Structure 1
Amino acid sequence: MQKFGFYTEEEPISIYPFSPVYHVMLEKGDVIVKKTQRPIERAYRLIEYTTFLSDNGIKVVTPVNLNRHNPQTIDGETYVVYPYIEGSTYTGKDNEIYEAGKFFGRIHSHSPKENVYQLEEYDVYDFTVEEVEESMQNIERNAAKYEFVLDSVQHKEKLIQIVSQQEELQNSNLPNVVTPYDFKANNLIYTPEPYLIDPDNAGWIPRIFDLALALLLFHNELSTAPDTIFTPEQWKLFLSGYNKSVHLTDLEHSYWQKTIEHVFLDEVMWLLEEANEDWSDPSQRMLFESLLRVLMDASDYGIE
């Protein structure tokens, strides 16, 4: 706090349990202090991207002007100060879902054709069968603590099948976008239009990977959100907003189901494996149950 020129009588407490995120109340306007991409060179490239979005009418946080450097490297980590955005959180209403999809489509539609901001490229195609087997053992232990019904044999077989698809996806030449790659309801504030308050995971990523992540984890880690993934009807509503700005290619349509499976392997498997504190929450367990159903059958979640 002091490195950014903020002084508090008490040590601040993070408002987010999984990463340091501090709400600082100031006379001239509240701010958020949080980790961002490191090293500092990557943080500046991220800021170039978010500034570009903001300049094009996309509501996204960019660093506040201070009389100190912002961002800064502190103890080997990079921190940034963003404005605190006043508004309401997502609750799963139809208009919120549609507006979120529309907003997401606008972000993708503004992506440059090339990775001009030199953000990190997605390259997670190296999962092994051994990793899946170890992860399933940990997931089984988590589930057993809460008498959670888990068809571990079927789930393991499915995940092992997904491992075998990685090379095909890696070589598929799917269209890439520069994108925040963490488009979830807990990263949006409605003002009443959606405002992206956490762009710090941005990278150069296959476009439909980002769309699949929104499908699977949009409702994760937000108490005001429904305790399942989108219903098929809600997903169609989200897509109807998204498709206002984006026309997905035939290639993307052909790889959509495999993409859902791969993003589950990459982004959901570890969540089920490691989030012990989430397993203790009944609403999170219901979300996990809906995620596992979609793992086995995502046919109701197309992109037509």
Structure 2
Amino acid sequence: MDVFEYFDLKKDTKSIYKYAPVYKSIIDTEEVIIKRTKEQTDRLANLLTWQQTIKGSGIETILPIAFKKKFYHSIGTENWVVYPFIKGNKYQANEEQIHGAGELLGRIHATSDSVFEHGFSWENYDGEFYDEVAEDIQIISKCYPTEFNSHEGQKLFRAIALEASKRFSNLARQELPTSDCTWDFKASNLVYQTNKPVLIDTDNAGKVPRIFDLSLALLLFHTCEDSAPNRVFTPEEWELFLSGYKKHIQMTEIEKESWQSMLLLVYADEVLWAINDLDEDESDRQKDFIRNLVTFNAHQYTI
């Protein structure tokens, strides 16, 4: 039995999301979203607990809908979940939306740090990782020569190479506060209701250093969202986002001291992959966004 038969979907039903199978349907007159979720079955119970935890704290988010008396469904080698379809508006990058998004992330980071047993691990940053970083930078230098060789591009990639040569060892030794995070906080995972954001995708969640999650939001908040600007936050927009975040989180001195190194690590870990994974058939907006990332000036963004 495949997912179409299991959920009584028409075989020609198309995914509403380009990067993963996500189907809109109707179950018992209710509009729903059916999507593939975490592969590891043992992590799904923790995910549900975390969703209930943040929902119980007043955070606007989704909870799975029971279908066939189950919240998660193993179909073949995959796991699937049913969520309610949340109506609202797309992100338009106005000041209230940006501040609200920052505040939502701060509330999430402040809610809990006790549910997930899996998540971020320094063991992933081994010699193979740094070899891949060097290879990715070589590819980018050839694919984006103008941006790469610009003043900002040279500064960025020299900084990454310097940090990589030290293996980011100073970060690994720091006692960085962790939190249960979405690990994927971006505009395309939010729906706005009167400019208040509702979190509609939590399936990537895990335990992460919160400045890693914050760095990820800075760098990739505008990715894959056609209504978002074709660039990263401006420094002024970042300050607006951060002011919302800081309503709920007080940054530690260790986080402040580690911020620039963490920002470069997240760039090396997440952004280099996004740049090199860009498909030819991506929208012009997404291509412009990726090109903008190649000239990212990390020193313009502080916490």
Asked if these proteins are the same fold (TM beyond 0.5), I'd say: yes
SS at match of 1:277: coil
Alignment partners' CA distance in 2, 1:119 and 1:131: 24
Alignment partners' CA distance in 2, 1:128 and 1:57: 39
Alignment partners' CA distance in 2, 1:50 and 1:168: 33
Corresponding letter in the other structure for 2:57: N
Instruction: Calculate the TM-score normalised by the size of structure 1.
Output: 0.89
Residue in 2 that maps onto 1:131: 132
Listed as ranges, the matches of 1:33-182 within 5 Å are 33-112=34-113, 115-123=114-122, 124-126=124-126, 128-143=129-144, 149-151=147-149, 154=154, 156-163=157-164, 164-182=166-184
In the alignment, is the contact (CA less than 8 A) between 1:125 and 1:170 conserved in 2?
no
Corresponding letter in the other structure for 1:214: A
Alignment partners' CA distance in 2, 1:133 and 1:250: 31
SS at match of 2:144: helix
CA 1:116–1:129 in 2, change beyond 3 Å: closer, same or farther?
Answer: closer
Alignment partners' CA distance in 2, 1:135 and 1:120: 24
SS at match of 1:136: helix
Alignment partners' CA distance in 1, 2:27 and 2:115: 36
Alignment partners' CA distance in 2, 1:100 and 1:23: 25
CA 1:157–1:129 in 2, change beyond 3 Å: closer, same or farther?
Answer: farther
Q: Unaligned regions of 5+ residues in structure 1, if any?
A: none
Shift of 1:162: 2.7
Q: Between 85-94 and 135-144, report the one with greater CA deviation.
A: 135-144
Listed as ranges, the matches of 1:216-235 within 5 Å are 216-235=219-238
Shift of 1:27: 4.8
Alignment partners' CA distance in 1, 2:10 and 2:69: 20
Shift of 1:125: 2.0
Corresponding letter in the other structure for 1:131: E
Residue in 2 that maps onto 1:265: 268
CA RMSD of the aligned region, Å?
Answer: 2.1
In the alignment, is the contact (CA less than 8 A) between 1:45 and 1:119 conserved in 2?
no
Residue in 1 that maps onto 2:202: 199
How high is the sequence identity, in percent, across the aligned residues?
A: 35
Q: Between 36-45 and 123-132, report the one with greater CA deviation.
A: 123-132
Shift of 1:258: 0.6
Instruction: Calculate the TM-score normalised by the size of structure 2.
Output: 0.89
Alignment partners' CA distance in 1, 2:14 and 2:61: 24
CA 1:19–1:141 in 2, change beyond 3 Å: closer, same or farther?
Answer: farther
Shift of 1:230: 0.5
In the alignment, is the contact (CA less than 8 A) between 2:180 and 2:208 conserved in 1?
yes
